[in-house]
């Protein structure tokens, strides 16, 4: 397997919120935003692995403020870390109002994609090299996020994870 620089997986997508994307209040529907997030994350994961990828999981996404009809949605994705067959992708969403020029952060999402062969079986992926301080932080934290999501999916136990023990058992004797 090769090693790819995290920055090589950077992907940018720009969308405008159109009438068909909104609810009756004129706000972007959450499902539409999740669709865009899924697509951009898949592209970043394919850049990293040069393989067909499937979505294995999406961490919690909070919708704290509405995105209005006519606003611009800027999505940026980058692979934070690769494991054996899976990769974690960070998607950062901003909105921009072209009339007022206001730009504001909207959501941050973490997704896990798995590279698969033509039969859908997981296959090993290229490793990711973090270069900047920010990428190194995302890389380090990716292990804790991975173990938490695998625990929530019932795939590992707290006893199997040093990271989760640190998180949940602080102060216990």
Ligand X SMILES: CC(C)(COP(=O)(O)OP(=O)(O)OC[C@H]1O[C@@H](n2cnc3c(N)ncnc32)[C@H](O)[C@@H]1OP(=O)(O)O)[C@@H](O)C(=O)NCCC(=O)NCCS
**List of residues contacting ligand X (CB under 6 A):** 54-57, 83-86, 112, 114, 116, 120, 122, 149-150, 153
Our CB check for ligand X shows the closer of 67 and 151 to be 151
Could you tell me the smallest distance in angstroms from the CB atom of residue 131 to ligand X?
A: 22
CB 115 within 8 A of CB 122: yes
Our CB check for ligand X shows the closer of 17 and 82 to be 82
Look at the block and give the residue holding tokens 């620089």. Answer: 5
Encoded tokens for 21 = 């994307």
Look at the block and give the residue holding tokens 């920010």. Answer: 134
Could you tell me the smallest distance in angstroms from the CB atom of residue 125 to ligand X?
A: 7
Look at the block and give the residue holding tokens 């611009």. Answer: 72
Look at the block and give the residue holding tokens 């998607």. Answer: 91
Our CB check for ligand X shows the closer of 17 and 90 to be 90
Encoded tokens for 13 = 């997508």
Could you tell me the smallest distance in angstroms from the CB atom of residue 88 to ligand X?
A: 9
């Amino acid at each position: 397997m090769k090693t790819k620089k995290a920055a090589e997986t950077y992907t940018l997508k720009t969308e405008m919120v159109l009438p068909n994307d909104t609810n009756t209040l004129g706000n972007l529907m959450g499902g539409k935003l999740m669709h865009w997030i899924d697509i951009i994350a898949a592209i970043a994961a394919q850049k990293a692995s040069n393989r067909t990828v499937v979505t294995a999981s999406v961490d919690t996404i909070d919708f704290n403020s509405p995105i209005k009809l006519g606003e611009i949605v800027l999505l940026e994705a980058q692979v934070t870390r690769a494991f054996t067959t899976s990769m974690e992708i960070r998607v950062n969403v901003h909105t921009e109002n072209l009339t007022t020029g206001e730009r504001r952060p909207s959501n941050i999402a973490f997704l896990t994609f798995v590279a698969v062969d033509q039969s859908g079986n997981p296959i090993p992926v290229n490793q990711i090299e973090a270069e900047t301080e920010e990428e190194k932080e995302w890389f380090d934290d990716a292990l804790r996020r991975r173990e938490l999501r695998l625990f929530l999916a019932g795939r590992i136990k707290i006893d199997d994870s040093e990271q989760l023990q640190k998180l949940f058992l602080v102060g216990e004797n």
